[in-house]
Amino acid sequence: MTDIPIVEAFDLCRRDAERGQVLLQPASFSLHDGDRVAVTGPSGSGKSVLLRALALLDPLDAGRIEWHGKPVSRITMTHYRRNIAYIRQRPAVLEGTVEDNLRYPYTLHAYRDVRFDRERARSFAERAGRGDDFLDKSASELSGGEAQITALIRVLQLAPEVLLLDEPTASLDPESSHAIEALVKTWLDSADARRASVWVSHDPAQAARVSDRHLTMRAGVLDEVTRPAAPPGPQDNQREDTR
């Protein structure tokens, strides 16, 4: 892990322009190579607002973001968004096949320097428990879990540095949820690049599985949770009983 974070946020603040309500109280946050962060909190607490602010998808009312120690500018914005990828809860799926959906980003100007690799995409699908025929499946036939897997592969194949996952398994069945978790874990465990994730979840058990850092949000306030000490093992209990 390097000393310079991949992403560092300084006093980010967001307000509802119409109502004047503060959606995100000034929040500072750093994300280093290898970090796996979970964010939990009640609905409406600002979790999605935080992720979208980190992705620079919405304008900030205050604060700034640095990427590899340098402020994100208009010149570097496109490259930043290419590397700091936001995955929403219900992704849009285009008409055609799964492969058509995976090929779509390569038609955009921002990705003119890379080409679609079917074998790599097939490998991602396999890690999510999908067979060789998955890429040929019609998008109209996809279940909610398969649509989310498609959207995730569409991002992962572009080799981002950070995944900002906004409740990607909400409303999915357990099998699909675990497939998404497995795919993200495999991607994070790859040692060939700097990678980190921020995962918003309502499920405490999932948050524990996918993270080594835990943040909470309430009323737009971001806090970091200190993980509790591990419970005493059988030998510790035995020592206590003999005292």
Write out 102-170 in H/E/C secondary structure.
Answer: HHHHHHCHHHCCCCCCHHHHHHHHHHCCCCCCHHHCEHHHCCHHHHHHHHHHHHHCCCCCEEEEECCCC
pTM for this prediction: 0.87
Under the banding of pLDDT at 50, 70 and 90, the label for residue 194 is confident
* 27 found inside a domain: yes
* 129 found inside a domain: yes
pLDDT at 13 over 70: yes
Contact between 132 and 99 under an 8 Å Cβ cutoff? The reply is: no
Instruction: Give the residue numbers spanning the domain of 31.
Output: 7-241
* 223 found inside a domain: yes
pLDDT at 81 over 80: yes
pLDDT of 114 reads: 92
The chain-wide mean pLDDT, for the chain, equals 89
Q: What is the CATH number of the domain that holds 211?
A: 3.40.50.300
pLDDT of 236 reads: 46
* 222 found inside a domain: yes
* 233 found inside a domain: yes
pLDDT at 1 over 60: no
* 2 found inside a domain: no
How many domains does the chain contain in total?
Answer: 1
* 1 found inside a domain: no
